[in-house]
Amino acid sequence: MLSAETPFDWAGVEVAVPRSSGRLPGVSMAGFRHRVPGRVDIAMVAHPSVTLLIDLADGEGIVHEGPGGRERGSVVVGLLPGDLRTTGRGTGECLQIRLEPAAAAAVLGASAELTGTVASLADVWGRDGERAEDRLRAASSWDERFAIAADVLGRRLGTRPPVDPEVAHTWRRTLAGRGRVRVDRLADEVGWSRKRLWSRFRSQLGITPKHAARLVRFDHAAHLLAAGHAAAGVAARSGYADQSHLHREVRTFTGFTPTAVATAPWLAIDAVAWPASPPPATVRRGSDRR
């Protein structure tokens, strides 16, 4: 297994993010172009979203390896993918799309079945996925790619039934509370019984409300660790009982120690690729020329 302590030089990676006008609710995107000599090998860290990784590289392409097997090219990564790493060689390009679970249910129509798995884009989307990938490959800039992706996703969002408003509200409250919410209180807020909320949430988003809260809380803690905060302080700020509790949860979600997660390459680029507030224009490291 790749160690999260393995150094990775982001100086050879160009990052592009879309203009604020191209954003869709529950959807965020970033484009990556790496010019790192030799082999690129990065361990993913669990994130509270369903992730589309669109491989736009020529040649061998990107390989994704996890507990469920090995996939090459463009993939859909469900919630809680486990020990997953992405590898490739030389110059490559990838469009990463993060879908909040409610958006994923509308866009993919099968988000619950994707939990804990990595599937090829073709298996999930069929010919629609292949056509979208062809359009993205033919685009001349990241701005054009973001526009194409927004068009494809927007049309799918507009034609599929949304998740229950009560389920969407529960997810938003879980995010806003950084995972420090009680299921009983959320059930009272939406006027459902705890059992009904548990059942509907799990059937539509693929995980239980309690597991969703754990994942969101872990994500908050992981980013605090990556920002350089000490584990003991992170445990207190994130609502864990103590540092040992934090250690166990980090192990559960990543297989790593908190120290290793703090230096994980997957988290190191987040401040650039997934800014807290929409940027006024496309932000890049390096040129956008093809």
Give the list of residues 6+ apart from residue 228 with CB closer than 8 angstroms, or none: 262
**Digit-coded pLDDT (tens) for 16-48:** 988 775 578 889 999 988 776 666 777 788 889
**Digit-coded pLDDT (tens) for 152-207:** 999 888 777 788 999 999 999 999 999 999 999 999 999 999 999 999 999 999 89
Ranges of each domain in the chain: 10-162, 165-262
141: alpha, beta or left, given left = phi > 0 and alpha = psi -120 to 50? beta
Sort 20 into a burial class: Cβ within 10 Å, 0-12 / 13-18 / 19+: exposed
161 token code pair: 């039934």
CA separation for the pair 157, 189 (Å, rounded): 26
- Check pLDDT > 60 for residue 145: yes
What is the fold, at CATH topology level, of the domain defined by 10-162?
Jelly Rolls (2.60.120)
Q: Do domains 10-162 and 165-262 have the same CATH topology?
A: no
CA separation for the pair 169, 181 (Å, rounded): 13
CATH architecture, domain defined by 165-262: Orthogonal Bundle (1.10)
